[in-house]
Structure 1
Amino acid sequence: MVLAATILASSLAFIDGSVVNVALPAIGANLGNSPADLQWVVNAYLLPLSALLLIGGGAGDRFGRRRLLIGGTVLFAVASSLCAFAPTLSWLLVGRAVQGVGAAILMPNSLAILGGSFAGPSKGRAIGTWASVGAAAGAIGPLLGGWLVDVIGWRAIFLINLPIAAGAIILAWRYIVETTDDAGTPLDWAGGCLATAGLGALTWGLTQFSSGGGGTVPLVAGVALLITFVALERSRGDRAMMPVTLFSSKSFVGLTLLTLLLYGALGGLLLLLPYVLIRADGYSAFAAGAALLPLPFVLGIASRAMGRLAATIGPRLPLTIGPMIVAGGFILATRIGDAGSYWTQVFPALLVISLGMAGAVAPLTTAVLSSVDARHTGTASGFNSAIARTGGMIATALLGAVLAARGAALVDAFRTTAWAAAGMAAAASAAAFLLVSAGTGMADD
């Protein structure tokens, strides 16, 4: 029941991170927005999620992980209702931002609860199941979302969160035992504000730049704010929400680089592929969502086994081979758009990408949790999740020119993006090979 509660809660964040992708054309047509506006439908969610996951994990360590899991889930459900009934884009963006805050609270605490509720081999199996079901939920989201967009309308994609949230809240209330690791350290609100402002300015600048509208001033401001954030965290020492001492470990640096690059590449694909299939190849929203089905099937079958394998042989080999296979899948994706069959163009690319991700998802999660002591599991999981979402947010911000293209130009821009994603996945593989130790994480350095 603990595993079921954490999976249901975290599935909210995974589903909403992908379900919107197939609805972007419908949202743009209904609300009359530009491609740059559509980028913010995605990034208004990813920005607070990326910036506040660190505080969400730390808050759970201090105030109670069950309490924060339930509170974050309630907030997510309220925000989902706001999105569903938003009369304008501005209200939709407000709802998406509040969803991001709720997800930043519930996600790290769901994983931290797992880390504290299981031990030994069962811990690896539980984390592998959590990771595989979460990844599958994120990939199934476009299929369900596409069907809802075609049959009911785009607003329905937010209403599906309500029964899921209700189930998570009931199970968490009944079966999860409250745990804390309160060392009396105040939360790093200044760091959280700086991280949010810095990432927000950086995202704004990249969005303007990718859409041909400049962006130099917000880019410079974003970089300056993030440098100030790092300086503040360094001065706060162990009281920081992102202790800089974590980066004294070569393995932790490798895991961070791998997460940023790999999830940035994957986030770009999950945003662009359904958009290209709908705009360039004439797919319905449901068909575009169904096109992504190889991802949940392969991840659901293989991730748990890879979690057990990584617990036996260590994460370095799976984390090196998995992203390299993903890179091969992105290269295959450069063939998409020639009006060929789904089975000869889209399916092979997604199958290879899925196999590679299955080799990386669970080993990465296990390695990150094993890299810190039990007192900092919430912080570690929050940081890794923040890096993953930051990668997706930066990728989305850079795709303005692709989203604005039409016809053959859209296909060409997608292929260029696929080549760039292949390079990012290969770089992620190199980071694992060169920096991650052969053991289970930071403790081995």
Structure 2
Amino acid sequence: MTDASDTAYSSASVRWLTLLSICVATFLMPMSMSAVNVALPTIAEDLSADAVLVSWIPTMNLLGAIALQLPAGRIADIIGRKKVFLSGLLLFSVSSFAIILVEHIYWLLLMRLIQGVSGAMVFGTGMAIVSQVFALHGRGMALGLTSTSVYLGLTCGPPIGGWLTEGWNWHAVFLAPLPLAVLCAVLVWIHVRETERQPDQRLDWLGSLLFIAASSLFFIGLSELPSWQGALLGGVGLGLLALFVYQQEHSPHPLIRLRRMVQNRVFFRSIQASFLMYAANYPLQFLLSLYLQYIRDLSPAEAGQLMLLQAMMMAILAPLAGRLSDRLEPRIPATAGCILFGVGFMILAMLDQDSGLSQVVLALLVMGTGFGLFSSPNNNGALSVVATERLSIASSLLNISRTLGNMLGMAIVVFLFNWLIGKSQITADQFPALMQLLEWAFLLCAGYCLLAAWRSWSRGKVHVT
């Protein structure tokens, strides 16, 4: 495959085998992530970790993903998407296997950081490969199926995590994805064609280092607020981010021309909507896992089975919404999805210690419907206005918006833990504070969804080919 032509994918069977290869990987990563969320209370007990360190287990994954997302996308455009994709799978497999040796919380956090880096390599290239392969053959539907694989991973993760944690131990949660990683690597190696190298292009090493430092320091600082150390780190991160923006405008081989991105109204507002929706979505399973296991005293398996309702609805609706966005304005289903997702958070914000589980079920079904309507049309609208030779970096930007949103959502949750609970293990005495934290977090997430609806609708009309 070359960047100028998709003739290597003129065969329908080759296109669908390629899509299957990508879908296996995009199933694998979220399955691992959501399975770990269910195991968090068991991990906390086994490693004697306080509430703040437990909240860093999903957060470290985000830190690795956001820091390497832009460089990974740019490297893929230069040396080839297949190489970067396979390297990400290898790194994920090695770090997952290494977790069986972990006996301290800090080593687990390091492995989660490495898994985040591998996720940046996989997600920064996967969507770009699918977008080019299906550019003339129903891209919205293909992106919808890619989204479905993500939601199927989210669906399978909680019950798998619960069963593995109860049947063996939490280490098994990290080992379970390894056979799928091997299968995915084989499928990608056989069916995905490598993109042409761009020898005239260079990686902007200075820009990459600036972005890694800026995103890492800002994220760590935000999570450490309201301490003065957190404010200092966050301020330095913002300063480096401003320097990164300036440097990118003057670099001969930038990671991204930010001015051009802002001028592309459809793409820029699509990534704004994505940022806000994922800021709302990412903390959801973490927060609900704590509510269901601590407050409602459900087992890990029971909590996982209940939480799969949202992802199940997303998996059903994502390909349908993607196909709809091939025929209809993408902003219509996407904006409706934002509003429904916010309604679900309002329902969750009304939970108390005696609420029936039917209230949680209703909220998850509404939220699954909302996010299923949003994701595929939003991605389809964004990528439809991007040149073929820039698809990897555009895919990385969409994933950066997702990861930045995840980062903001979890950083604020970590801040709330620092403020309301502190560095102590969650016990019955802390349940009132935990309920207050959950209410505030759910209301904040509802606000993110309303802002996302505004940005989604205001992107304007998109002609999707």
Q: Check whether TM > 0.5.
A: yes
Of the three residues 428, 433, 445, the one matched with 2:457 is 433
Structure 1 residues 151-194: Cα deviation after superposition (integer angstroms, max 9, x where no partner): 21111111012111000011111111212351521112222222
Q: Contact 2:141/2:326 (CA < 8 Å) preserved in 1?
A: no
The yes-or-no answer on 1:221 pairing with 2:236 is: yes
**SS in structure 1 at match of 2:225:** helix
**AA matched with 1:199:** S
Structure 2: any 5+ residue segments left out of the alignment?
A: 1-16
User: Who is 1:408 aligned against?
Assistant: 432
The yes-or-no answer on 1:140 pairing with 2:156 is: yes
Of the three residues 98, 106, 111, the one matched with 1:82 is 98
- TM-score, normalized by length of structure 2? 0.90
Structure 1: any 5+ residue segments left out of the alignment?
A: none
**AA matched with 1:25:** P
Mean Cα deviation higher: 400-409 or 213-222: 400-409
**AA matched with 1:87:** E
Supply the distance in 2 between the matched residues of 1:34 and 1:223 (Cα, whole angstroms).
29
Q: Percent identity?
A: 27
User: Who is 2:194 aligned against?
Assistant: 178
The yes-or-no answer on 1:9 pairing with 2:33 is: no
**SS in structure 2 at match of 1:135:** helix
User: Who is 2:120 aligned against?
Assistant: 104
CA gap of 1:203–1:337, structure 2 versus 1, over 3 A, is same
User: Who is 1:156 aligned against?
Assistant: 172
**AA matched with 2:271:** T
Supply the distance in 1 between the matched residues of 2:338 and 2:30 (Cα, whole angstroms).
20
Of the three residues 316, 336, 358, the one matched with 2:331 is 316
**SS in structure 1 at match of 2:297:** coil
Of the three residues 49, 52, 75, the one matched with 2:65 is 49
**AA matched with 1:288:** A
Shift of 1:15: 2.2
The yes-or-no answer on 1:338 pairing with 2:361 is: no
Q: Contact 1:13/1:107 (CA < 8 Å) preserved in 2?
A: no
Supply the distance in 2 between the matched residues of 1:126 and 1:328 (Cα, whole angstroms).
28
Q: Contact 1:39/1:207 (CA < 8 Å) preserved in 2?
A: no
Q: Contact 2:339/2:449 (CA < 8 Å) preserved in 1?
A: yes
**AA matched with 2:231:** T
Supply the distance in 1 between the matched residues of 2:233 and 2:312 (Cα, whole angstroms).
41
**AA matched with 1:265:** A
**Equivalent runs, 1:168-317 vs 2, <5 Å:** 168-180=184-196, 182=198, 184-209=200-225, 215-236=230-251, 239-244=253-258, 245-317=260-332
Supply the distance in 1 between the matched residues of 2:453 and 2:463 (Cα, whole angstroms).
17
Q: Contact 1:402/1:410 (CA < 8 Å) preserved in 2?
A: no
Supply the distance in 2 between the matched residues of 1:79 and 1:70 (Cα, whole angstroms).
14
**SS in structure 2 at match of 1:360:** helix
Q: Contact 1:39/1:397 (CA < 8 Å) preserved in 2?
A: no
**SS in structure 2 at match of 1:177:** coil
Supply the distance in 2 between the matched residues of 1:136 and 1:10 (Cα, whole angstroms).
9
User: Who is 2:391 aligned against?
Assistant: 377
User: Who is 2:441 aligned against?
Assistant: 417
The yes-or-no answer on 1:365 pairing with 2:379 is: yes
Q: Contact 1:58/1:187 (CA < 8 Å) preserved in 2?
A: yes
Shift of 1:336: 2.5
Supply the distance in 1 between the matched residues of 2:208 and 2:303 (Cα, whole angstroms).
37
Of the three residues 110, 119, 124, the one matched with 1:94 is 110
Supply the distance in 2 between the matched residues of 1:133 and 1:205 (Cα, whole angstroms).
33
User: Who is 2:77 aligned against?
Assistant: 61
Supply the distance in 1 between the matched residues of 2:67 and 2:378 (Cα, whole angstroms).
20
**AA matched with 1:420:** L
**SS in structure 1 at match of 2:397:** helix
RMSD: 1.9
Shift of 1:214: 5.4
Shift of 1:428: 0.4
User: Who is 1:349 aligned against?
Assistant: 363
Paired residues, what number? 438
Of the three residues 411, 428, 433, the one matched with 1:397 is 411
Q: Contact 1:136/1:295 (CA < 8 Å) preserved in 2?
A: no
**AA matched with 1:354:** G
Structure 1 residues 301-345: Cα deviation after superposition (integer angstroms, max 9, x where no partner): 1111111111111211122211011111110111323323312x1
Supply the distance in 1 between the matched residues of 2:99 and 2:248 (Cα, whole angstroms).
34
CA gap of 1:440–1:38, structure 2 versus 1, over 3 A, is farther
Supply the distance in 2 between the matched residues of 1:227 and 1:413 (Cα, whole angstroms).
32
Shift of 1:402: 4.6
Q: Contact 1:271/1:396 (CA < 8 Å) preserved in 2?
A: no
- TM-score, normalized by length of structure 1? 0.94
Structure 1 residues 75-106: Cα deviation after superposition (integer angstroms, max 9, x where no partner): 11001112232122222122111111111111
Q: Contact 2:271/2:382 (CA < 8 Å) preserved in 1?
A: no
Mean Cα deviation higher: 152-161 or 187-196: 187-196
Supply the distance in 2 between the matched residues of 1:400 and 1:106 (Cα, whole angstroms).
26
**AA matched with 1:232:** Q
Supply the distance in 2 between the matched residues of 1:339 and 1:152 (Cα, whole angstroms).
31
Q: Contact 2:26/2:149 (CA < 8 Å) preserved in 1?
A: no
**SS in structure 1 at match of 2:357:** coil
